[in-house]
Structure 1
């Protein structure tokens, strides 16, 4: 199962450090700084919806400097 996560970071947070941490996180396949209403887009993969939720709530939200996320689960591969 795949999902994309829009990530907003705290003002003054080091975006390069956060992207490096995301890229080294198990389940995170890619992470990029982007323009627009969010700061970072990450693609994640897990075997099921619970796995997706665990990556977001336990791993991504644990990274210092991350303020908020919005997850979009892919309905087709």
Structure 2
């Protein structure tokens, strides 16, 4: 599974309806409203890299009210257990 994190800038007056439109797109698993430089974060999960273009350029970028996006592709997922192990220095 390929995961992309899409940071979305929007017309701030339309955040709820834009978030709902994004959540309805095939390939978008979750949408969060967030603080900071962007308004929404969408998680995209697809089976093949080629599908990213369909979801992001063909879907997300075409939602009315979106003023820009930045996409990060995840290389590796870490669970809470993995993070605890990574930061465990073995000191008790």
- Normalised by the length of structure 1, the TM-score is 0.91
Name the residue aligned to 1:10: 11
Q: Distance in 1 between matches of 2:41 and 2:12?
A: 17
Q: Distance in 1 between matches of 2:48 and 2:75?
A: 12
Deviation at 1:11, TM superposition (A): 4.9
Name the residue aligned to 1:57: 57
Q: Distance in 1 between matches of 2:7 and 2:21?
A: 15
Name the residue aligned to 1:21: 21
Task: Give 5+ residue unaligned stretches, structure 2.
Answer: 78-92
Bigger helix share:
2
Q: Distance in 2 between matches of 1:67 and 1:73?
A: 20
- Normalised by the length of structure 2, the TM-score is 0.77
Say how many residue pairs are matched.
Answer: 76
Deviation at 1:52, TM superposition (A): 1.2
Greater RCO, 1 or 2 (C-alpha within 8 Å, sep 6+): 1
Q: Which runs of 4+ in 1 moved over 3 A?
A: none
Whether 2:31 is the aligned partner of 1:31: answer: yes
Task: Give 5+ residue unaligned stretches, structure 1.
Answer: none
Across the aligned residues of Structure 1 and Structure 2, the Cα RMSD in angstroms comes to 1.1
Q: Highest CA radius of gyration, 1 or 2?
A: 2
